Structure 1
Amino acid sequence: MTCDEADILLHALIDGELDAGHAREVENHVAACSRCTAELKVYREMKAQMATADMRLTAPPRLRQRIEAAIPQSRGTSRRSLLAGFAMGSAVSAIAATGLVAIVLRDDDEQRIASEVVSAHLRSLQAGHLTDILSTDQHTVKPWFNGRLDVSPPVIDLTALGFTLIGGRLDYIDGRAIGAVVYKRRAHVINLFVAQTPNATHSAARTEDVQGFNIRRWRDHGLSLWAVSDLNADELAEFSDKFEKAMQTNGNG
């Protein structure tokens, strides 16, 4: 393990988010590396200070406005009375508000993960970070993931369709290890992040701009997929469309 790889995982280590194998690997590296030992000490001191600091967050007014706007206007019941009931501890209002807050939080969670996906993409562009397995052969890349993840991501050769497979690697999104399959379109790198989502229903692909990068995300075959690149939105959509069609043809890659 290199210092750059360990640096990515130090926060996850102190937060207890790594599995036993990865935690032991990071700890072994830290034990032999004075630089990472010092960084880990700084992170732990920072975490201790944050735990003792008064960091209570007051919900912004716009959160109340979003909740109020989301409450349906029913006969004989105003939005104001529902919110008043919530403030008084009414069980019915509390249940309704819980559902509405969940919608708000789910939206915020998706935005956070999208930001993490872009951060992982940027890390991969540093020298030596793009691939753990460098190969244009899907039959070499796919078996490499076996035993390293709960699910082996689909690896599909799209070279003939204009998107060159160049390899794969392990990455970390939302505190867990996931697979990244790497493609190129001319000089543009496309990172395809794949995570297992067994209970997820199929969702059509959609594109969004995050920090100047395009992200194309969709769900299929019990997987959540994010393709991120500085490639223009139309070409990234072309990539995801061809990948989806190939998945259906090949039976999940």
Structure 2
Amino acid sequence: MTACIDREMAVQSLADGELDSMNALELEAHLQDCPGCAATLARLRAVRAKLVNAEPRYRAPEALRARIEAMIGPEAEGEPARPARTLPWFGGGAIGALAASMALLFAAPQLTSTALQDQLIAGHIRSLQASHLVDVATSDRHVVKPWFNGRVDFAPPVAELAPQGFPLVGGRLDYLDGRPVAALVYRRRLHSINLFVRPAPALASPVAATTHRDGYSLTRWVAGGLEYWAVSDIDSGDLQAFRTAFRKASGT
């Protein structure tokens, strides 16, 4: 059994203790009636427990031990140097704990904070309310793509998806976490879709996921060193169809 598509990220956040209290209460109520989400949560928690409690498997390299022992040499000038000693704390226990922590970081999806999701939704709403949906208004991707040159330090892929029911409207410069990002705008009937593109954060999860928050659907994926976030008030199924169409057309 798997988690509901629109609950995947929330379940992962709950497993990592990153879900705010209001959404946690709502999700826990959902878990009472959803075996798939409950089973997914149990699996995530089991993986976390195994990694945290894993037996130490690694020892510090001898060269690294020697460098650290040299750094903590004589404490005062003139004090006779003491024989190098083995550092008991730097044995398997500490290294094992570090290895378990690193394994947890790479094994479990690195979840995006709810604060970033709030920024994404706010950026989507702001673009609609301020009548500033696009800086460059065109359905020609060959115009939109080069427009970002010099405005962001990466090249966002741009796809024309009119045949798939998601015509390109244009693009604009936006901001997430205080940094400039590319925002590509598409339409689904009378609804706007904002696709935010930015360099992928370190340790970003490669897992594509969809969630629903405050009446808006969000879907994300990572490809080619970039992170993509699509935000809209359309049905989550339509937004996933957009994600599939964009990835196929752009090769991401």
Q: Which residue of 1 aligns with 2:231?
A: 228
Deviation of 1:197 after TM superposition, in Å, equals 2.5
Residue 120 of structure 1 aligns with an amino acid whose one-letter code is G
| Equivalent-residue separation in structure 1 for 2:238 and 2:141 (angstroms) | 22
Match of 1:156 among 134, 155, 159: 159
Q: Which residue of 1 aligns with 2:145?
A: 142
Q: Deviations over 1:54-85 (max 9, x none)?
A: xxxxxxxx79xx9x96764468xxxxxxxxxx
The percentage of aligned residue pairs carrying the same residue is 42
CA separation of 1:74/1:240 partners in 2, compared to 1, >3 Å: closer, same or farther?
Answer: closer
Residue 235 of structure 1 aligns with an amino acid whose one-letter code is D
TM-score by length of 2: 0.58
| Equivalent-residue separation in structure 1 for 2:50 and 2:176 (angstroms) | 30
Structure with the higher helix share, 1 or 2:
1
| Equivalent-residue separation in structure 2 for 1:220 and 1:142 (angstroms) | 17
TM-score by length of 1: 0.58
| Equivalent-residue separation in structure 1 for 2:205 and 2:99 (angstroms) | 27
Residues 32-51 of structure 1 aligned to structure 2 (within 5 Å): none
Count of residues in Structure 1 that have an aligned counterpart in Structure 2: 174
Judge which range, 115-124 or 230-239, deviates more.
115-124
Q: Give the number of the structure whose alpha-carbon radius of gyration is greater.
A: 2
Deviation of 1:204 after TM superposition, in Å, equals 3.9
> 1:238 aligned to 2:247?
no
Q: Deviations over 1:126-160 (max 9, x none)?
A: 13221111111111111111111101211111011
Ranked by relative contact order (alpha carbons within 8 Å, sequence separation 6 or more), the top structure is: 2
| Equivalent-residue separation in structure 2 for 1:69 and 1:223 (angstroms) | 31
Runs of 4 or more off by more than 6 Å in structure 1? 100-103, 198-202
Uncovered stretches (5+) of structure 1, i.e. residues with no partner: 1-61, 76-89
Q: Which residue of 2 aligns with 1:129?
A: 132
Q: Which residue of 1 aligns with 2:215?
A: 212
Match of 1:118 among 118, 121, 129: 121
Match of 1:168 among 145, 167, 171: 171
